């Protein structure tokens, strides 16, 4: 694992477009933003708090030793709380959604339940996220990490429009990684483990951002079993065969476990579950290969140095894989804008040509006479089409409002040999 922060010049050269053209994106800042996502109770807030206090301890210890993987010379991580319903946090957020939106009042005002209240509060906050992003962009050259703690109900952030807006806005402004927190003691059953992995996989494919699986609470349950299941397909099969997929099978012996039929084999339901798990684990095998995994205890701080190393690796991945896509998008947008400008200019030129033709002397044009009410009428009852000015021809008797042109004066030379009012 890489331990050093990428140097600015290395980052810049890695981020430059492959065709050698100048980058259309702002320079890559010093900070990496870490979006902390996880199931309710997985320990997101405790983990976020641990990241904050880790800086303090590593900063104080760095005076005696300089081997800390986190750049302790930088300012402390910049903390953002996006959970409007959280009671107390173990850290002092720099930006707190609760300062902007009171989710209880939102619930009352819109007659919503708790989840609807949290979602609506997040949506309201997201309408102001451009201001938050401005603040974060300013801080991004002063600190190494910007940490965002997300709402307890995972889907409120991961599957909402506001979650996507926040994630995309951050990722287009600075290197951004997702830290997916897993409650390790509650993941020892194969089915729970599998559903957690599927959820992580769906977030990875939705955000396309560098991803770190964080097995939290390793003080209560080491995460070795999970690593084994991820790296050795047969071990997971064994865990499935050993018993009911929904029971923690790792820690119990096959004989001691309840479940199963009278003959000691799995029931029909268990058999179906095991077979489903089996096929899904095959699908996830590919996903595991591209994952960074760390085990941490947010309570003791164990494993946090490995987490920061994983963040550095993920930052590199952002620069080499994600940023070129952003660059391509920026180039496409620029091309579209320029194409639009060209089209407008061509249209203007076309219009001007039509305009100059309509202003030129027209030998075959029927003469006009003035009728009693001072309006001009064409002789012989032939009514000419009028030029609207934007390339569109409109019928003179249509209800559409005609454009108004100021008469430029008798001395006005159009530059094409005609002088107003036109001769003849
Ligand atoms: N043993 C142990 N307990 C932990 C650890 N991290 C968090 N916890 C406990 O897990 C519980 C939930 O932690 P939170 O940080 O509130 O979890 P959360 O994901 O932010 O919770 P919500 O936002 O409500 O979904 C708390 O009781 C924490 O003390 C850990 O590393 N080890």
**pLDDT for 190-199, tens place per residue?**
888 988 999 9
- Residue 401: partners with Cβ closer than 8 Å, 6 or more residues away: none
pLDDT score recorded for residue 60: 63
What is the C-alpha separation between 412 and 150, in angstroms, rounded?
A: 67
Neighbours of 188 (CB within 10 A): 20
What is the C-alpha separation between 333 and 327, in angstroms, rounded?
A: 10
How far does the centroid of ligand 1 lie from the alpha carbon of residue 118, in Å?
19
pLDDT score recorded for residue 104: 92
What is the C-alpha separation between 316 and 326, in angstroms, rounded?
A: 15
pLDDT score recorded for residue 301: 94
pLDDT score recorded for residue 224: 94
Q: How many domains does the chain have?
A: 1
pLDDT of 362 higher than 80: no
Q: Which residue has the higher pLDDT, 203 or 63?
A: 203
What is the C-alpha separation between 246 and 279, in angstroms, rounded?
A: 16
In a domain, 271, yes or no: no
H or E element, residue 213: strand 211-216
pLDDT of 422 higher than 60: no
Which atom of ligand 1 is nearest to 153's Cα?
25
pLDDT score recorded for residue 63: 54
- The mean pLDDT of 162-187, rounded to a whole number, is 95
Nearest residue to 316 via CA among 90, 25, 32, 24: 32
In a domain, 5, yes or no: no
Quote the tokens at residue 157. Answer: 């952030």
Which atom of ligand 1 is nearest to 48's Cα?
15
What is the C-alpha separation between 235 and 242, in angstroms, rounded?
A: 10
In a domain, 171, yes or no: yes
pLDDT score recorded for residue 173: 93
**pLDDT for 252-306, tens place per residue?**
444 444 444 555 555 555 667 677 777 777 778 878 877 899 999 999 999 999 9
In a domain, 264, yes or no: no
How far does the centroid of ligand 1 lie from the alpha carbon of residue 78, in Å?
21
User: Any idea what the CATH number is for the domain that residue 306 is in?
Assistant: 3.40.50.300
pLDDT score recorded for residue 401: 56
- The mean pLDDT of 147-157, rounded to a whole number, is 92
In a domain, 1, yes or no: no
pLDDT of 46 higher than 50: yes
Neighbours of 40 (CB within 10 A): 10
Q: Which residue has the higher pLDDT, 166 or 275?
A: 166
**pLDDT for 342-361, tens place per residue?**
988 888 888 877 666 666 55
What is the C-alpha separation between 81 and 79, in angstroms, rounded?
A: 7
In a domain, 17, yes or no: no
Pocket perturbation via mutation, ligand 1, pick of 41, 84, 214 by most ligand atoms within 8 A of CB:
41
What is the C-alpha separation between 305 and 297, in angstroms, rounded?
A: 11
pLDDT score recorded for residue 397: 53
How far does the centroid of ligand 1 lie from the alpha carbon of residue 200, in Å?
18
pLDDT score recorded for residue 59: 64
Pocket perturbation via mutation, ligand 1, pick of 46, 49, 84, 88 by most ligand atoms within 8 A of CB:
46
Q: What is residue 102's DSSP assignment? A: -
H or E element, residue 340: helix 323-359
ipTM for the complex shown: 0.97
Q: Which domain holds residue 116?
A: 32-251+288-335
pLDDT of 99 higher than 50: yes
What is the C-alpha separation between 379 and 361, in angstroms, rounded?
A: 18
Q: Cβ(245)–Cβ(191) under 8 Å?
A: yes
Q: Cβ(159)–Cβ(192) under 8 Å?
A: no
pLDDT of 118 higher than 90: yes
How far does the centroid of ligand 1 lie from the alpha carbon of residue 44, in Å?
6
Ligand 1 neighbours by CB, cut-off 6 Å = 38, 40-46, 83, 86, 152, 216-217, 219-220, 297-299
In a domain, 363, yes or no: no
In a domain, 122, yes or no: yes
- Alpha carbon separation from 117 to 21, 85, 93, 122, 372 (Å, rounded): 47, 9, 21, 9, 72
CA atoms within 13 A on the CB side of 172: 15
What is the C-alpha separation between 211 and 141, in angstroms, rounded?
A: 23
């Amino acid at each position: 694992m890489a331990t050093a922060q990428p140097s600015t010049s290395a980052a810049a050269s890695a981020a430059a477009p492959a065709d050698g053209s100048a980058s259309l994106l702002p320079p890559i800042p010093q900070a990496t933003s870490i979006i902390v996502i996880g199931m309710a109770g997985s320990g997101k807030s405790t983990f976020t708090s641990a990241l904050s206090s880790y800086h303090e301890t590593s900063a104080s210890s760095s005076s005696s030793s300089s081997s800390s993987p986190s750049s302790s010379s930088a300012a402390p991580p910049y903390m953002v709380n996006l959970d409007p319903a959280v009671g107390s946090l173990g850290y002092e957020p720099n930006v707190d959604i609760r300062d902007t939106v009171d989710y209880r009042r939102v619930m009352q005002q819109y007659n919503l339940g708790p989840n609807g209240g949290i979602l609506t509060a997040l949506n309201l906050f997201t309408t102001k996220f451009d201001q938050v992003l401005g603040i974060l962009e300013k801080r991004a050259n002063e600190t190494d990490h910007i940490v965002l703690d997300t709402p307890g109900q995972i889907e409120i952030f991961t599957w909402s429009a506001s979650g996507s807006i926040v994630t995309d806005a951050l990722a287009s402004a600075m290197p951004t990684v997702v830290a997916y927190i897993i409650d390790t003691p509650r993941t020892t059953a194969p089915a729970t483990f599998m559903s957690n992995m599927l959820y992580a996989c769906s977030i990875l494919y939705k955000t396309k951002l560098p991803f770190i699986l964080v097995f939290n609470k390793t003080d209560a349950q080491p995460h070795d079993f999970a690593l084994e299941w991820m790296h050795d397909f047969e071990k997971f099969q064994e865990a499935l065969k050993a018993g009911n997929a929904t029971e923690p099978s790792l820690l119990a012996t096959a004989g001691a476990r309840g479940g199963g039929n009278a003959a000691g084999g799995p029931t029909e339901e268990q058999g179906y579950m095991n077979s489903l798990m089996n096929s899904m684990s095959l699908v996830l095998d590919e996903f595991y290969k591209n994952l960074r995994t760390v085990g941490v205890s947010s309570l003791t701080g164990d494993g946090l140095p490995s987490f920061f190393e994983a963040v550095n690796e993920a930052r590199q991945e952002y620069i080499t894989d994600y940023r070129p896509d952003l660059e391509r998008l920026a180039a496409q947008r620029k091309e579209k804008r320029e194409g639009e400008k060209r089209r407008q200019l061509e249209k203007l030129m076309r219009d001007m040509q039509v305009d100059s033709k309509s202003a030129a002397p027209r030998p075959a044009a029927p003469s006009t006479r003035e009728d009693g009410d001072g309006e001009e009428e064409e002789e012989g009852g032939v009514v000419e089409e009028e030029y609207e000015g934007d390339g569109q021809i409109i019928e003179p008797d249509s209800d559409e409002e005609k454009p108004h042109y100021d008469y430029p004066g008798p001395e006005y030379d159009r530059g094409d040999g005609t002088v107003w009012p036109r001769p003849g």
